[in-house]
Structures are given as structure tokens and as C-alpha cells.
A and B are shown apart, each in its own frame.
Chain A
Amino acid sequence: MMHADGAKPAAAVSAAGLRTLDGYRRLMRRRRASVALLLIVALASALTDFVSGPSSLGLADALRGLFDPESLARGQRVILWEVRLPIAVLAILVGMALALAGVEMQTILGNPLAEPFTLGVSSSAALGAALAIVLGVGIPGFDLSWLVPANAFVFALGALLLLQVLARTHHAGPETLVLFGITIGFAAGALLSLLQFVASEDALQQLVFWTMGSLARADWPSVGLLAAVLAATMPFSWRAARRLTALRLGDDRARSFGVNVDRLRLWALVRASLLAATAVALVGTIGFVGLVGPHMARLLVGEDHRFLLPASVLCGALLMSLASVISKTLVPGVLMPVGIATSLVGLPVFLALITRRHRRR
């Protein structure tokens, strides 16, 4: 052959190549360690959340009550098991759900700003909640305590369904999809304002409280519901991890790697919708977790989704749990709406991430 220059057979790898491979395996071990560390920190935060609160239940009592409930007085037992534990667990689950929804949305839309908020899911959920709170209009068959979340869920899911329909009928790419999402969000926001305008003072206060996001209504049915949705969606996200990584290189590349991009995008959006709608329905609108969690994870472990997905989920859980602690301790004796705390925690973290990234360039 005129151009051949004595090439080695393709499969042989040099000693330098084997060293590179060792470097790659070290990198993987480091990432696994990062994920493990996140898990430990998130659990520690949940524990802090569990042992902190306005009542005079100290660390020792709280821990004893966790393993041996009978050793506590009835009042203390109720506080631990019906208030603190559901709040601590729900905070973790909500953080997981919002961050997983956020990271999948960011990947399938190729947009680092995508999250339930930016796609209009949260505003639509708020509109649904407002209809129930202000006008008492909602899904038939639910009693009042579940009417608000059920309505919020249906509206959030409806918004994402509308998004899908618009995207399908207009053959919209990811950019257009984001614009549709913003449009839906603004429309829902306008209708929400209209409802606020006509609402009674009582309903208005309830509504404002709902839109701030709160863990105060946490109870075991909520925890069970969100845990079930997470358990139903997470395995599918995990299975899609390698395909999601491919999508980060663009649709054409992912397709040529053998990824059915349309199907991947559809199912990821379905998963993200279910997660976001359920979380928002249970605790109200909570910003920043779906956005910041994935960004933190990306800085820690990169964008190999086998690591990025679990790291995002854990970062979300950690952020939400920290916010829960802050919402209890910032003003002693007052349980602040957790949505305010997530923004307070999220903003500095987000700013630090942005400025760090700019410095590195």
C-alpha cells in the first residue's frame, strides 16, 4: 500500500495507553467516592433536620425516640414521628425529585437553565392550586386536604402535556420547546395573578403560603406517594444514563451512536414531568433546587450520566435538607416557608458556581 506506514493492529494498547487507562479508572473511583461522600453529607443533613426544631427535644432524646419510640412521652413521640421525621424525609425526597427532573430536562433540552420552573411546570401547578384554594374548583372525588395537591398535579402534568403537543405539532427542536415552556409559564402566571386579584383575604394568604413552598404539611401519605414516584422513575433514568450522556454530544452524534433520540427525549420528559408535578403538588413551588443541584453535581463528577444522575439527586437532597434546617432555625420558633430558604441557600451557591466557572476560562 502506498500510504501504509507500518501501523499496529487496532486492538494492541501500548504501555502509555495502559497508564492512561489507570488514570481513567482512578478518575472513576474518585467520582464514586464523591457520590458516596454526597450521600453521607445528605444523610447527616437529614439527621440535623430531624434533631432540630422549636420543641425542647434534644439530640439524645430525638435519637432515642427514633429507635425506641416507647421511651418518649406521648407528646414528644408525636412531634418526632408525625412532624420532624416526615419533614426531614420529605425534604430529602423533594430535593431528589426536583434535581432528577432538573438534570434530565437540562440534558434532553440541551439547556443549562432548564428545570421545572423554567418550563412553566411550577406556575401551572400554582394555578391549579389557586383554582382549588380560591374558587374551590378541582378534581371531583378528592376531599379538601388532597384537592389542592391533586389540582396542582393535574395542572403541572397538563402543562407538560401541552408542551409535548405543541412540540409535536410544530416539529419543535429543544430551543423552541424551552420557549413554549416559558410561554406556558407566563400564561399560567397571568391567570394566577387574576385569581389572586379576585381572591378573598383568607384565600389569598393561603395561596401566597402555597406558592412559597412549604414542608409544614408533610405527612406519611405525602412521603409514601413521592417515594413511590421516585422508585418508579429512577430505575429508568439509571438505565438511560449512557444514552443521556450521548445526547450531550448533540442529536446527530447520539443517533449515529445508535440512540433513539426521540424516544429517549419523550420518556425522559415523562419521567421529569411526573417527578416535578408530584413534588410541586406536595410542597408548593420551590425554586433553585432543580437548577442548582445538577450544576453542583456537574462540577463534582462531570457529565457521564452514570455519575451525574446519582450526584444530582444527592445534591438536590442535600440542598433541600439544608434549606429545611435553615427554615426552622433562621427565625427561632418560626417555621419559615422552605421555598424562601432554598433560594437563600441556592443563590450564593449558584453565584459561586458561575463566578468560579468564569475564573477558570
Chain B
Amino acid sequence: MTLPHAGPMLEIQHLTVSYRNHPVLGDLSLPPLLPGELVALVGPNATGKSTLLRALAQLVPASGQVRWDGQDLLALSTTALARTIGYMPQSLPETAALNVLEVTLTAMQAQDLPAGKAQLAAIAVLERLGIDDLALRRLDQLSGGQRQVAALAQAIARDSPILLLDEPTSALDLRHQWRVMNTVRRLADDGHLVIAVLHDLALAAQWADRILVLDRGCLHACGTPQTALTPDMLRAVYGVEARVQRCEHGRTVVLVDGPAGSPRT
């Protein structure tokens, strides 16, 4: 990208997050992230992927600079932040006696819409995700996969320009996985900046514009799926010997042969 970008972009510089004096993210700087991009955040367990999303959503104290559209995201008020960021946490609420539509409406309260308008907008969100038939079903009557799609509805309900999704497909079967990733892709195409933590590298390769590889709180690699997903990266970051194969239609498949240093099978 040689041309300077005109519109808003997310700039993360020297972001540091510590938990009990133990740095989870140390001085993390990322290349600018742009609206319209679907960015996959990958890396082994406990490398700070969720922490990065939580820091951007002001859920953990962080220092450094995070700028969006000329604003300091780390200093934004809770209401202003809710209008800028949609966040989908990993865990799903289980016991609340609320139905899917109520939960979606609850997620929209920072917008201060009149009731009728808000209800229509909430239904539209559910239709977009293909769960409008679940609108009046209570959360505790949903399957894990349905709850996850309902959780995605809460994150996108405010139509905020930045969407942070923490493993949006972890509980989903293949059909729902495709449906959710397709929706997420369209949200990016509509001009949202979507940052999604994904464990499934094949999904990341299939849907993302860019892949950010985090390793122990630091950026290990950043680039298109083709440039970021390499056997060298997988050995260095995940500690595995793996082959990365490009199939027809440009799909990427990662085949793991064993722990790093083991002979190929």
C-alpha cells in the first residue's frame, strides 16, 4: 500500500497490557488497519489475541496509542466507544431469561433510537444473520451454535464501524460456520473494519484479507494469507512441522505433520 489512505483507519502503536505486573502484550505496534478489511488474528493459545481485542474495547487497562478517525480510542467514553466498537466476547451468557430480540435491543441502547425504530433495526440484524425465526426464543432454549450467532447479533447491532469478534465460529457446525463467516465478510465489504480471532487457519485463509500472527504478545507476521501462512511461521510460532498447500480456487489448506523437528510422514 503506497497510496496514503484518506478515510479513517485504526492505528495501534506501542500498545502494552499487563496482568498482575506480567506483560501480556508488550509494546505492540501494528500496521494501520482499514475499513473494509477482514483481519484474522491468529496465534497459539495464550498469546494475547483476546487481550488485544479486550484492550481495544477498553475492557482491560492498556497503555499506548490507539487512534481511529482522529480519536484516541483508549480515552473514549463508554457510550462513544459503544458507538465505535462492536465487541463479541468468547463466552456466551447462559442463564438470562431474555429472548434473542430483547438481547439485541439491549445491545443497541447506546444509540438512543425510538422504540419502534430500534425494534425494526433489531429484526433486520437478526434477518441478516438468518436467525429471525429465533427472535422470541429465550437464550437458555438455544443450542450453543444458535447462542453464538445471537452473540454476533449483539456485536453488530449498533452498526459500529469497528467489529471485534473473539472466535465467532468456535461452537458452529460447517453450515453455520460458512453462514457466519459469509456475513462477517459482507460486513467488511460494506465498509466495517472486522478483526476476528480465528483458531482455524483454513477459515482465516479462506475469508480474511490480512492475517496478523501474534506470538507471546508480539507481532510475528502480518500479510495476506499467502504471505503470512508459511511452514516457517507455523514451525516458529506453533511449534509444528506443517505443509501449506494451495488448492484450486486459491483455497489454502494447512496439513500438520507433527511437532517441530519431527520427520515428515
Contact = CB atoms under 8 A, between A and B. Distances in A.
B85 interface: yes
Interface in B67-86: 78-79, 81-83, 85-86
Contact of A258 (B81, B96, B135, B159): B81
A168 interface: no
B87 A252 contact: yes
B58 interface: yes
A284 B32 CA distance: 63
B85 A256 contact: yes
Interface in A242-262: 242-243, 245-246, 248-250, 252-253, 255-260
Interface string B178-194: 00001001100100000
A3 interface: yes
Interface in B96-123: 96-99, 101-103, 106-110, 119-121, 123
A249 B106 contact: yes
A10 B159 contact: yes
Interface in A217-261: 242-243, 245-246, 248-250, 252-253, 255-260
A13 interface: yes
Given A260-B78, A298-B97, A17 B86 contact: no
A243 B101 CA distance: 16
Looking at chain B's contact residues, the main secondary structure is helix
A3 B189 contact: yes
Contact of A257 (B107, B120, B124, B182): B107
Nearest to B38: A3
Nearest to A250: B93
Contacts of B85: 256
Interface of A: 1, 3-5, 7-8, 10-14, 16-18, 20-21, 23-24, 27, 242-243, 245-246, 248-250, 252-253, 255-260, 298, 302-304
12 contacts: A1-B186, A3-B182, A3-B186, A5-B182, A13-B127, A14-B127, A21-B119, A21-B123, A24-B101, A256-B86, A257-B108, A302-B98
Interface of B: 54, 57-59, 78-79, 81-83, 85-87, 89, 91, 93, 96-99, 101-103, 106-110, 119-121, 123-128, 132-133, 135-136, 138, 154-155, 159, 182, 185-186, 189, 207
**A-B CB proximity, top 5 nearest:** A258-B82, A258-B110, A256-B87, A303-B97, A248-B96
